[in-house]
Structure 1
Amino acid sequence: MASNAALFDDVFIPVRGQAAIPIEDIAPWAVFGLLIAMIFLYFVSTEQGAYALFDGMYVHEYVHDGRHLLGFPCH
């Protein structure tokens, strides 16, 4: 029975009475995630469409299908 108890002893299940994660620990990761999301959105929606930072059509062709999947026009 001891081996069965070890299988169901999950350390990732929260225990009542533990404090929530402080906002000071979450804020830097939230800002980082928002920055990555905005960079992704720029490349899918705008790059080599209305505005281009890079020469050629390489970025446009790379994100072309994703652009149509998300509803951004490009033609």
Structure 2
Amino acid sequence: METHALPAPAAPAFEEIDVPVWAWALVAVAALVSYFVMLENGTVLAGAAETLHEFFHDGRHFVGVPCH
């Protein structure tokens, strides 16, 4: 009895995506804004901008992120 090996299916070829530099900058800014909205508790601001801290604090409540 003879056995024959079947050739492995070829992996689909994907085109390389060229991501522009401005898109990476936008992702970095979005990550920074996410940090400030969800995690910043005044450590970075160190009391210098209490109004900004309260603005983000109220924004966390509005979005539904638990912060207390």
Q: Whose helix proportion is higher, 1 or 2?
A: 1
CA distance in 1, matches of 2:29, 2:46: 22
Alignment gaps of 5+ in structure 2? 1-16
Structure 1 runs of 4+ off > 2 angstroms?
none
1:66 aligns with 2:59: yes
Q: How much is the aligned-residue C-alpha RMSD, in angstroms?
A: 2.2
1:53 aligns with 2:47: no
**TM-score between the two structures when normalised by the length of structure 2:** 0.57
Q: How many aligned positions are there?
A: 50
CA contact (8 A) 2:45 2:53 kept: no
Q: Cα distance, 1:60 vs. partner?
A: 2.7
Sequence identity (%): 40
**Aligned equivalent of 1:33:** 26
**TM-score between the two structures when normalised by the length of structure 1:** 0.52
